[in-house]
Structure 1
Amino acid sequence: MNTEMIQFDEKGLVPAIVQDATSKEVLTLAYMNKESLTKTIETKETWFYSRSREELWHKGETSGNTQHVLDLRYDCDQDAVLVLVNPEGPACHKGTYSCFSDSLLEAKPNADRFAILNTLEQTIAKREAERPDGAYTTYLFNEGVDKILKKVGEEASEVIIAAKNRDHQELTWESADLIFHLMVLLREQECVLDDVLQVLEERHASK
């Protein structure tokens, strides 16, 4: 990225929207000046400019919650930057996965029959970042990939058994368990669910 094309405001700043590259959740909105943008490009970790302290700050320097930059994009007016990252821990100083945790609107019913997959993907990403005590997903991430793989294998076997037994209720439950653990594995491997869906679309289109 040529920083010369970015339109900084009268204070020499540009808003930077930080988004989880895997879950697509917006994590935070911060500001960059030319120096912090350059450092972000060079180090592949997010650097911002603090308007309150009037100084550069490296995200995660004290907390350890760094953000590994995968891509930097700018909008059509060249006056805003989108930063796609793999976060190491919460983005918010309050310890939450995203700074955008509260809503001004009441939750509305979603007509999308697959909306739960988006919700589940975001929740898993939040659990990985925040690691709340007592959460089963926290346990899986803390144990690591071997434990997650073991659970995927166990749940796949349970699906097979339920299907062989023609037990529809059990098959439904075990299928849900398998999908959940598979999505945890995708998150651990930094594999985007959209990429899996894209493969399915490509295979369908080729027939």
Structure 2
Amino acid sequence: MDPKELKFDKNGLIPAILQHVLTREVLMLGYMNSESLQKSIETGHCWFFSRSRARLWEKGESSGHFQVIESIAYDCDKDTLLLQVTPQGPTCHTGTQSCFDGAISTGELSNSSPTLYAALERLQVVVHQRNIERPADSYTTHLFEKGIGQIAKKFGEEGVEVALAAVSEEDDRLVSETADLLYNLTVLFEQREINLEEVGKVLLERAK
């Protein structure tokens, strides 16, 4: 469809919802005008129009946490956009994966836990920070200083621990060992400069 057919409001804006392409989690809501939409299409990154600053801005221009566009859809009324994206870090300026991090109490529904993917993404951010800052009292720093050989060895050891726990331990022990395994996998990927998003893409492709 020609973007000119979209229904912008009286101020020339249209709401744009960002959704994680892998987890389907809603990440943020912003507003686009025709120019920022065109820049988003041309660059493959999300551009918005700031109502408070009255200018175009690119999501991630300050933090480096860009949003790579995978697809753009519009609703049945043609007055709202849905952008499926691959985040290059936390979406919210507060450091959380999604800007929708708060919850209105609705009884049992308010007790829902964060998704595994959200936890892994947060872990990936923390591990990356440890790699850059290298705090002296951090175990993660110790692993990075030992290099890829030691990191790979530790990952292998944790894999064995998971297998043993699966055979002879209680469920909580298996869960704990699996958490250790995923932590060490995250460190390994950071050392190799590979984003966990790449694994998600392969899994989705294989699930077709």
User: Normalised by the size of structure 1, how large is the TM-score?
Assistant: 0.70
Contact 2:59–2:66 (CA under 8 A) maintained in structure 1: yes
Matched, 1:155 2:158: yes
d(CA) in 2 for partners of 1:149, 1:16: 42
Matched, 1:121 2:124: no
Could you say which residue in structure 2 is the equivalent of 1:59? Answer: 59
d(CA) in 2 for partners of 1:85, 1:101: 18
d(CA) in 2 for partners of 1:196, 1:175: 24
User: Normalised by the size of structure 2, how large is the TM-score?
Assistant: 0.70
d(CA) in 2 for partners of 1:47, 1:197: 28
Amino acid at match of 2:159: A
DSSP 3-state at the match of 1:49: strand
Which segment is superposed worse, 13-22 or 32-41?
13-22
Count of equivalent residues: 186
RMSD of Structure 2 on Structure 1 (CA): 3.8
| Consecutive unaligned residues in structure 1, runs of 5 or more | 203-207
DSSP 3-state at the match of 1:191: helix
Amino acid at match of 2:122: K
User: What fraction of aligned residue pairs are identical, expressed as a percent?
Assistant: 36
| Consecutive unaligned residues in structure 2, runs of 5 or more | none
Contact 1:18–1:82 (CA under 8 A) maintained in structure 2: yes
Contact 2:47–2:58 (CA under 8 A) maintained in structure 1: yes
Could you say which residue in structure 2 is the equivalent of 1:96? Answer: 96
Amino acid at match of 2:164: I
From 174, 179, 199, the equivalent of 1:191 is 199
Amino acid at match of 1:121: Y
d(CA) in 1 for partners of 2:152, 2:2: 42
* Aligned CA distance change for structure 1 residues 154 and 175 (closer, same or farther; 3 Å): farther
d(CA) in 1 for partners of 2:16, 2:42: 16
* Aligned CA distance change for structure 1 residues 196 and 4 (closer, same or farther; 3 Å): closer
The Cα shift of 1:95 comes to: 2.9
The Cα shift of 1:51 comes to: 0.6
Q: Which runs of 4+ in 1 moved over 4 A?
A: 129-134, 146-152, 182-187, 193-198
